[in-house]
Chain A
Amino acid sequence: NAGVTQTPKFRVLKTGQSMTLLCAQDMNHEYMYWYRQDPGMGLRLIHYSVGEGTTAKGEVPDGYNVSRLKKQNFLLGLESAAPSQTSVYFCATGDRGVNEQFFGPGTRLTVL
């Protein structure tokens, strides 16, 4: 079992470029989450999904879009990247909202 995987692992973008981060899970979990991690701020929830075809906004959703077309995949899109989006992005999954989450290895994104 691969668990939770993220692609790519690293990416450098120029301001205004777009990209999509992919999260894939083989744990059959209903819930999936996208977080960003910045120094001294812990992890902040960007968007989440409680099942296939559903998405909801988290704490810091502006500048990001998501889609959950298949249960096992959760995509995070940046339509027009900004330097403020330089961060490490983590995907997580869970079987219920109040249970523990399982994290991917992260994607380090730099926007120049």
Chain B
Amino acid sequence: AQSVTQLDSHVSVSEGTPVLLRCNYSSSYSPSLFWYVQHPNKGLQLLLKYTSAATLVKGINGFEAEFKKSETSFHLTKPSAHMSDAAEYFCVVTGRTGGFKTIFGAGTRLFVKA
């Protein structure tokens, strides 16, 4: 069975400080993992994806994530937060388990203080 847990429902940082959004996953198969961002009243936009190539994945807007199989984690980081990063972030796992499943985490809302 597949599952994904975002460990924080809310994260608040000051502009210019690092961002860490945590995601743990469970999958019986080698998963594909994604981070999406959703700005208020908008659809979801892909930030980055892991599909069994390099374990450190770079995405748009300075975000990156590291796939750690031993820890079953796929945490999202950014060295320096910008006000425009304030949004909701979703960790997603996809993989075939006798069919097809896409599982979304519950989301982490990122607040950025001036």
Interface residues in chain A, defined as those with a beta carbon under 8 Å from any beta carbon in chain B: 4, 33, 35, 40-45, 48, 50, 56, 90, 92, 97-106
Contact = CB atoms under 8 A, between A and B. Distances in A.
B32 A99 contact: yes
Contacts of A44: 104
Interface of B: 9, 32, 34, 36, 41-46, 49, 51, 90, 94-96, 99-100, 102, 104-107
Contacts, number: 53
Given A40-B106, A43-B90, A98-B94, 19 more contacts: A40-B9, A41-B106, A42-B106, A43-B44, A43-B104, A44-B104, A90-B44, A97-B94, A97-B100, A97-B102, A99-B32, A99-B49, A101-B102, A103-B36, A103-B43, A103-B44, A103-B45, A106-B42, A106-B43
Contacts of B32: 98-99
Nearest to B104: A42
Contact of A100 (B9, B46, B99): B46
